[in-house]
């Protein structure tokens, strides 16, 4: 082994840092077996999602590892919420890089412990390696939903309404804030946006309403226009996204106030990634129930426009079409 922080052995990491994260769940077998064993639940579907992160791509090389771990878990929880599933357990693959000594690994595990407690999920297994390259990690998250009730991206029909939860654009502004590229806003607002980028809020509180009332649903990770586009493509429909109805945080409103071309800037917010909200469609009579549920949960839904015949997302502002250069983030 070469210099750098003291590198603990694989099995110490598993026993000391990861075993406590199982919360004693019998399925995990104390992280001492070849596999976890999950009993089935009659009448329920197991909903499974996976998200990976790479240092330098999904997080900045000096980001603290407790926040990195929490964001990784949260991006997976966001997918479960969009599918109307209740969190159950997760599997973690991590490939430690040279900067990951015992302190960094402990910070990573501490972050996981904090969000596990907050969102009600436990570690069930995984794999541990190290790499000469950048730190990478991936989570496979499992959730339960009543059988046959998980909304897909393919259920939108003309006449449905498009809804989105929470606020859009804080991911876009938060990345700028985290990179120190956001000027003209008060320091507290910049700090709040950077925090929101590093620590998105998965919308598990909306999972039940989504599975009860949405005709199609997706989480907003690539950018609202792109993710709504995925629903349109899967459903064989079009949609109109009315930018004047885009729900914004107070910080995003303050940013917009200083922009020379507010409509173009609204389009930037609608195409930036990392919001981790839920975009969904619903028949008009179900949209009311979704809105009531969102208000009750403290995460309101906004109605963005109609699902239409045709294909693709038509972005408008006060009825006029708005040109979109790039609907969202794409890996090369």
Using CB distances below 5 to 8 A depending on partner kind, what does residue 125 bind out of Mg ion, ligand ADP, none?
ligand ADP
Nearest residue to Mg ion, scored by beta-carbon proximity: 127
The dihedral region occupied by 154, where left means phi > 0, alpha psi between -120 and 50, and beta the remainder, is alpha
181 contacts ligand ADP (rule: CB under 6 A) = no
123 contacts ligand ADP (rule: CB under 6 A) = yes
Which residues, at least 6 apart from 261, have a Cβ–Cβ distance to it below 8 Å? none
Q: Which is nearer to Mg ion, 128 or 316 (CB)?
A: 128
Q: Which is nearer to ligand ADP, 90 or 119 (CB)?
A: 90
Q: Could you say which residues in the range 73-92 bind ligand ADP, by CB under 6 A? A: 92
Q: Which is nearer to Mg ion, 103 or 127 (CB)?
A: 127
Q: Which is nearer to ligand ADP, 139 or 194 (CB)?
A: 139
Structure tokens at 211: 């599975």
Q: Which residue has the tokens 């059988």?
A: 147
**Closest distance of CB 170 from ligand ADP, Å:** 30
Contact 250, 261 (CB under 8 A): no
Contact 327, 226 (CB under 8 A): yes
Q: Which is nearer to Mg ion, 12 or 127 (CB)?
A: 127
Using CB distances below 5 to 8 A depending on partner kind, what does residue 87 bind out of ligand ADP, Mg ion, none?
none
Size of interface with Mg ion, in residues (CB under 5 A): 1
**Closest distance of CB 10 from Mg ion, Å:** 8
Contact 165, 301 (CB under 8 A): yes
Contact 301, 163 (CB under 8 A): yes
Start-end of H helices in 215-283: 224-235, 250-257, 262-271
Q: Which stretch binds ligand ADP (CB under 6 A): 76-84, 126-134, 206-214, 264-272?
A: 126-134
Sheet with 86-96, edge to edge strand ranges = 44-54, 136-146, 86-96, 122-130
Q: Which of 6, 34, 188, 261 contacts ligand ADP by CB under 6 A?
A: 34
Contact 304, 316 (CB under 8 A): no
**DSSP secondary structure letters along 291-331:** HHHHHHHT--EEEEEEEESSSEEEEEETTEE---S--S---
Q: Which is nearer to Mg ion, 125 or 174 (CB)?
A: 125
Residues 96-135, one symbol each (x = binds Mg ion by CB under 5 A, - = not), give -------------------------------x--------
> What are the residues binding Mg ion (CB under 5 A)?
127
> What are the residues binding ligand ADP (CB under 6 A)?
14, 18, 31, 33-34, 92, 94, 123, 125-128
């Amino acid at each position: 082994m070469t210099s750098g922080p003291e590198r603990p052995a694989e099995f110490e990491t598993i026993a000391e840092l990861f075993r406590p994260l199982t919360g004693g769940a019998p399925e995990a077998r104390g992280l001492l077996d070849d596999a976890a064993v999950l009993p089935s639940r009659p009448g329920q579907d197991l909903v499974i999602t996976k998200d990976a992160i790479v240092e330098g791509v999904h997080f900045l090389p000096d980001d603290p590892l407790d926040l990195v771990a929490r964001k990784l878990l949260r991006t997976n929880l966001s997918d479960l919420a969009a599918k109307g599933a209740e969190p159950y357990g997760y599997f973690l693959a991590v490939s430690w890089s040279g900067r990951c000594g015992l302190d960094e690994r402990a910070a990573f595990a501490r972050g996981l412990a904090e969000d596990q407690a907050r969102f009600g999920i436990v570690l069930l297994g995984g794999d541990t390696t190290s790499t000469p390259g950048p730190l990478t990690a991936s989570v496979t998250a499992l959730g339960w939903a009543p059988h046959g009730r998980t909304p897909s991206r393919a259920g939108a029909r003309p006449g449905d309404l498009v809804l989105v939860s929470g606020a859009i654009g804080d991911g876009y502004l938060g990345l700028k804030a985290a990179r120190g590229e956001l000027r003209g806003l008060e320091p507290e607002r910049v700090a709040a946006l950077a925090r929101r980028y590093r620590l998105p809020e998965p919308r598990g509180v909306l999972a039940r309403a989504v599975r009860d009332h949405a005709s199609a649903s997706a989480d907003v990770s690539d950018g609202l226009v792109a993710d709504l586009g995925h629903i349109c493509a899967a459903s064989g429909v079009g949609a109109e996204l009315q930018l004047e109805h885009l729900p914004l945080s107070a910080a995003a409103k303050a940013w917009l106030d200083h922009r020379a071309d507010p409509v173009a800037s609204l389009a930037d917010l609608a195409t930036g990634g990392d919001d981790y909200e839920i975009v969904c469609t619903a028949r008009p009579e179900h949209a009311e129930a979704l809105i009531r549920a969102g208000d009750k949960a403290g995460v309101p839904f906004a109605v963005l426009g109609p699902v239409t015949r045709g294909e693709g997302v038509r972005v408008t502002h006060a009825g006029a079409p708005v040109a979109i250069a790039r609907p969202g983030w794409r890996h090369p």
